[in-house]
Amino acid sequence: MNRLTVVRSLAVLAAAVVWISACSYQKHFEAGPSDYGSRTESHERSGFRTYNTQLKAADHNNNSLQFTQSTTDAVDDMKGIRSSFVFVTDKNAYVAIVLDKTATGTKGKGAILFSDRTIASPGVDDHSDVSYVLPKGDVVMDKYSFDTIPNPQDLSSELVKELSALVRQHHPNITNVFISANQQFINRMSSYALEVWKGGSLQPYVADFNALVKDHFGDHGIIETNP
């Protein structure tokens, strides 16, 4: 074997090693907790949230409402989630999530509503006197804040599946888990949590809460998670 042949063989071998390493890394990443997208392309088309599976009525006529701090803390520990608010009723669990950049593929379809990070002052070196004050209870703003996903159906199916499974571990008797990263929904859930942290009761807000979740998630039916 001449020298040129040896060099070519080594080059091919090196390329093969790099390709195998890249594939191994990709598979390791896709199987890990920081990716909700790459490994679920087929899930988005034919997975547990496909729209050709059997629908059942979404019952948002809840009779009780409570904020669950322990479940909220568990959801906060998931990759891709900055913070959350988990509420449990006599029937369902409702989860508002604030997404961050610690995971990929959190959006399944649709569009992300990006926070406006433009500088309001005429020059980049100017210091604007404008201050942004959060309304009471709000955690997400239009400017200089976290990106949101307006439609709850646009969340990654893998993220929804894993988050739902986690919530069901803490609350095995609930019927359905509803999840949203919508800005207005997050802020409303935050205001309810604030009421609890102040020592108040959520029972006076049940009717208001039911109207909110029915409007946001709809009453046309939900997808069976185990068709």
Q: 3-state class of 194 per DSSP?
A: helix
Position 121 scores a pLDDT of: 47
Q: Which residue has the tokens 């409570």?
A: 66
Tell me which of 196 and 7 has the higher pLDDT. Answer: 196
Q: What is the pLDDT of residue 143?
A: 64
**pLDDT value of position 166:** 96
Q: Output the pTM of the full model.
A: 0.69
What phi, psi does 140 have (nearest 5°)? Answer: -125, 130
C-alpha distance from residue 71 to each of 44, 146, 169 (Å):
26, 22, 9
Question: Residue 216: what are its φ and ψ, rounded to 5°?
Answer: -80, -45
Lowest mean pLDDT among 71-80, 135-144, 151-160, 205-214: 135-144
What is the mean predicted confidence (pLDDT) over 54-72? 87
DSSP state of 179: E
pLDDT in tens, 192-221: 999 999 999 999 999 999 999 999 998 655
Burial class (CB in 10 A: 0-12, 13-18, 19+), 21: exposed
pLDDT at residue number 114: 60
What is the per-residue pLDDT across 85-124, written as a single tens digit (0 to 9) for each?
999 999 999 999 998 877 555 555 655 656 555 555 444 4
Alpha-carbon span 55 to 208, nearest angstrom: 26
Q: Quick check: helix, strand or coil at residue 124?
A: coil
The rounded mean pLDDT for the chain is 73
Tokens 């959801």 belong to 75
Q: What is the pLDDT of residue 29?
A: 38
Which of the pair, 61 or 126, is modelled with greater confidence? 61
Structure tokens at 140: 């997400």
Residues forming beta bridges with residue 181, ordered by sequence position: 149
DSSP code, position 109: S
Strands 81-89, 222-223: pairing is unpaired
Among 116, 113, 117, 187, which residue's Cα sits nearest to residue 150?
113
143 Cβ contact partners less than 8 Å away, ≥ 6 residues apart:
115, 116, 117, 132
pLDDT reported for residue 58: 82
* 9-18, 166-175, 209-218: the lowest-pLDDT one: 9-18
